[in-house]
């Protein structure tokens, strides 16, 4: 995947961490029907470090479904904040790939604890909780 420059509106935080991410890691993707699966690899070794990053775009519903997002970055030293950068870059690529301009909901299938400690802290996104269920393990 080529590096995509973020559109205006990207936070200073995100823009400041993009070079750090792309100095060490890259992102590739494959298309499997309506789903795009992304892979994070370490540039130095060329090895895939991600566990599962699967997304699909439901044009009829006007939403991106985040099926799984486990980039595996937290397992490597010195990668604080880089999972956030990875999520941002995947969303940018997905939006460009499907020509999504605006007004698209991002649907997260996650536990409340994960939302509170990761997604809820991403200031580049305006998440709204539509349905809250029990925190499943």
Asked if the structure places residue 27 within a domain, the reply is yes
In a domain, 25, yes or no: yes
Q: Please indicate, yes or no, if residue 102 is contained in any of the structural domains.
A: yes
Q: Would you call 62 helix, strand, or coil by DSSP?
A: coil
Instruction: Decide if 54 contacts 41 (C-beta within 8 A).
Output: no
Residue 100 lies in a domain: yes
Is the residue at 135 inside a domain? no
Q: How many C-beta atoms surround the C-beta of residue 115 within 10 A?
A: 16
Residue 75 tokens, joined: 């397992």
65 CB contacts (<8 Å, ≥6 apart)? 55, 56, 57, 58, 107, 109
Q: What is the pLDDT of residues 43-79, one digit of tens each?
A: 999 999 998 999 999 999 989 999 999 998 988 888 8
Average pLDDT value for the chain: 85
Q: Is 136 part of any domain?
A: no
Report the number of distinct structural domains present in the chain. Answer: 1
Q: Are 132 and 112 in contact (CB under 8 A)?
A: yes
Quick: pLDDT tens for 26-48.
999 999 888 999 999 999 999 99
């Amino acid at each position: 995947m080529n590096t995509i420059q973020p559109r205006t509106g990207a936070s200073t935080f995100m823009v400041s961490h993009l070079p750090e991410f792309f100095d060490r890691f890259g992102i590739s993707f494959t298309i499997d029907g309506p789903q795009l699966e992304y892979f994070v690899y370490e540039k130095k070794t060329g090895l895939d470090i991600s566990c599962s990053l699967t997304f699909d775009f439901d044009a009829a519903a006007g939403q991106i479904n985040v099926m799984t997002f486990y980039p595996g970055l937290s397992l490597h030293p010195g990668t604080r904040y880089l999972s956030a950068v990875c999520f941002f870059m995947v969303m940018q690529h997905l939006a460009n790939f499907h020509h999504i301009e605006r007004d698209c909901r991002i649907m997260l299938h996650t536990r409340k604890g994960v939302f509170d400690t990761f997604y809820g802290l991403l200031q580049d996104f305006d998440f709204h909780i539509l349905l809250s269920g029990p925190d499943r393990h």
